[in-house]
Amino acid sequence: MLFNSWSFAVFLPLVFLVHFLGRSTAWQIGVLTVASFAFYGWTDPSLVPLLVASTFINGLCAQQLLTPGMAPERRRTALRLGLGFNLGALAFYKYASLLAGLIVSREWSTALHEEIPLPIGISFYTFQGISLILESWWSGDRGLAGLTAPTPSTPLAGRIGFHARIWFFKAFFPQLVAGPIVKAGEFLHQIGSKTLRDIDWNDAIRKLVLGFFLKCVVADNLKDETAALNIGEFTKLPRANLIALLYGFSFQIFADFAGYSLIAQGLARLFGYQLPINFNMPYLSRSLTEFWRRWHISLSSWLRQYLYLPLGGNRRGPWRTHFNLFVVMFLGGLWHGAAWSYAIWGSAHGLLLAFERMGRGEAKIQADPPWNPLGVIRALLVFTAVSVLWLLFKLPEFSHVIAFGRSIVQNSAPAQTQPIFVITLFSLPVVAWHLWAAVRPWRAKLPSAWTTPVETAIYATALLLVWINSGSAGDFIYFQF
């Protein structure tokens, strides 16, 4: 079910009403869990069994890992089973065709890909499962906040309650198919009875309005223009139009994914829960290191906690640090998709991060005033580098990326102004939002009597534009991951 669909417009108020009809934790998480599975299987019910199996196995393993007095060997077995299932499911459904391509012909691997379709959101809910398993392993007898493992003497209701919380954590519909990636320690402690007084209405409405504006008005209108980014069309376009497409897709992918994340955060707020922030004005970044602190923050945080730090982080000398960065970004690239273009994308980011760390250093870059000319130039260079690498997301073959670069160099025909105007028009809100955030220190000095009406007018205008100027509805880009 899409957030920007009429079926969801009926689904949300109905679930909200039924959820708050009861006051007990069991009622509320039961309603939301059932609703979440219905939400996930609305378009394709065949997706549900895998999510059910994933939740069931992760719950059993977490119980073994958290039960006081559990034998060390049984805990190690549960750890291996939990990690093996999550990684195995991800490898089978997402990477079988890629691995097969290394052994058999491309035709066979393509046929295998068609036989094993990618379940929506599998990358997100398997990472949630890994988080639950690893945090349960590290916590042991201490337990996780919000999750107490049953003992042999625990009544049946307590046993059911333990697993009910895990099923709710894994399936909570706002973040189920495209994040933010919620770690166990961030969410489980929030589970409890909610009342209407627990809702931060102002924050929820602002996030929902801004999220739907970014998705429906910005991303969906840009989508129709950036459709020209295919090998059959862009090779015939003038240089200026190609540059507009390059930056236009960069704004589109940001608006699409940031829009989804904001909608997810706003929906969670409506039910009394808080999801982690996923974007913090990434196109203001003056270094790749800063970019990855601002872009897809939940993935960056997950990779840091569960991969980069266990590999040794930056504690084993500079060369090992650079190697760790490369490995993490390479695997982060493959997480996005089972294609070598994603691996190249991740590897390029890993190499740039390593070279950046060898150079001037993040601390010195951040010490520079953000608005000095050098800082602005750095931000533009980082934005350009990121935008060029986004081509690996849009174009299915690396050879197409090379052809795009060749076309920019060679195509010198006069610009086609109408597409450039449309791309510029729908990119401006993203630029304006970043600039509005950049001047926050100055805005903070102004009286709220000045800034509050301006912000209210901005959100009211955004809501109006969602109603009258949305583009043709389309899937969120990160559904494919």
Give catalytic residues, as residue numbers: 336
65, 133 contact by CB (below 8 A): yes
36, 125 contact by CB (below 8 A): no
* Tokens (6 digits) for 387: 């935008």
275, 262 contact by CB (below 8 A): no
Q: For residue 176, which phi and psi values (nearest 5 degrees)?
A: -65, -45
* Tokens (6 digits) for 114: 């068609």
> Over the range 257-284, which residues count as b (16 or more CB within 10 Å of their CB) and which as e?
bbbbbbbbbbbbbbbbbebbebbebbbb
**Measured distance CA(23)–CA(11) in Å, rounded:** 20
176, 275 contact by CB (below 8 A): no
* Tokens (6 digits) for 472: 């043709």
Residue 463's H or E segment, with its range, is helix 448-468
| Nearest residue to 177 via CA among 372, 41, 278 | 41
Residues in Cβ contact with 361 at an 8 Å cutoff, skipping those fewer than 6 apart: none
**Measured distance CA(19)–CA(29) in Å, rounded:** 8
**Measured distance CA(252)–CA(478) in Å, rounded:** 12
| DSSP secondary structure code for residue 414 in this structure | P
66, 166 contact by CB (below 8 A): no
